Structure 1
Amino acid sequence: MKKYYFKEKFFKITDHYPILDEDGKNAFFVDQTFKFLGYEARVSYKNDEEIFTIKRKLLSFLPIYYINFKDEAKRDMTIKSNLALFRKSIDVLMEDGKISLKGNFWDYEFEIYYKGKLIGEVSKKIFSLTDQYELRVLDEKYTEALVGLCLALNNIKDLELASSSSGR
């Protein structure tokens, strides 16, 4: 099992920040560019080798994200936010199956399953000024996919917070 820690900046016009491993060392870097519409981020190793990109589809009623891996052996992912009556739901689709989220992913307390097998867990750090959360990867062959999933979910949450605060 490996652990990774995400800590966001307070102001998010552009972002360049590390994702830390359990030893507090830089494991990945996230580079997010400023856009008036949409979301685009590039994730790389510490040697600046790109691993994958995340892009949000511009013209959709609910957010849809595409994660494209540079390694051809990895499966690209599509993440879709769904309209549900009492709570939000997310579909995470890979070419050969679906990832399931169980728990409260809006509060960053959830488990991640692939084909019925627990592959990861996410929990939010309490008592922090900015969003900080921990990803526990139980099956390391899904590390990059789980990092991408966490980043997309975080952007969905940011969009919802922005729309709820502007509607007041």
Structure 2
Amino acid sequence: MRFLVRERLFGIGDDYWIEDADGRKVFLVDGKAMRVRDTFELKDTDGRVLVEIHKKLLSLRDTMIIERDGERLATVKRKRLSLLRNHYRVALIEGTDLDVSGRILDHEFSIEYDGELLAQISRRWLTVRDTYGIDIVREDADAALLIAVSVCVIVLAEKEHEG
């Protein structure tokens, strides 16, 4: 499954559609303005909230939380020792971890579980300016979760780069 995302997707308070490879709207990223912390909702085309994403208020390292139906699904934070590339760890509530690594600010990174590629985020294979793709490799993968993870790591990397 391949999805297309516009570069300016991650402005707080803005709403943007994520489209499939055929240009059909699939997910809406609803940025919530006027909140104390960064907050997004990922919705389906009927307006149902699939996941909520928000920044943890008090933590030593910037951390984002992904919730589904009010229950924590995952925690996303940068790995401590990652000098050459951006590395993030996604701790899923059931106890497994996903690894995110690559050039996050360039939108060239991958999401893996135990060495197996789950999703590739890239702008290399697109010719449309200011657009990048999220290519979910496994058909049985949770697309909403992987898109939410992508949103989290890009937001965290941009905040770190600004600071």
- 1:84-103 counterparts in 2 under 5 A? 84=81, 86-87=83-84, 88-94=86-92, 95-103=94-102
SS in 1 for 2:144: helix
* Identical aligned residues as a percent: 23
Give the match for residue 76 of structure 2.
Answer: 79
Give the match for residue 147 of structure 1.
Answer: 147
Q: Tell me the distance in 2 between the aligned counterparts of 1:136 and 1:83.
A: 27
Q: Tell me the distance in 2 between the aligned counterparts of 1:143 and 1:154.
A: 17
Give the drift of 1:71: 9.6
Give the drift of 1:148: 0.4
Q: Give unpaired runs (5+ residues) of structure 1.
A: 164-168
The amino acid across from 2:61 in the alignment is L
TM-score, normalised relative to structure 2: 0.83
Q: Give unpaired runs (5+ residues) of structure 2.
A: none
SS in 2 for 1:145: helix
| Two-structure CA RMSD over aligned residues (Å) | 2.6
- 1:1-168 counterparts in 2 under 5 A? 2-9=1-8, 12-35=11-34, 37-70=36-69, 76-84=73-81, 86-87=83-84, 88-94=86-92, 95-124=94-123, 130=130, 132-140=131-139, 141-163=141-163
SS in 1 for 2:8: coil
Alignment length (residue pairs): 159
Change (3 A) 1:104 1:13: closer
On the 8 A contact 1:44/1:51 being kept in 2, the answer is yes
TM-score, normalised relative to structure 1: 0.81
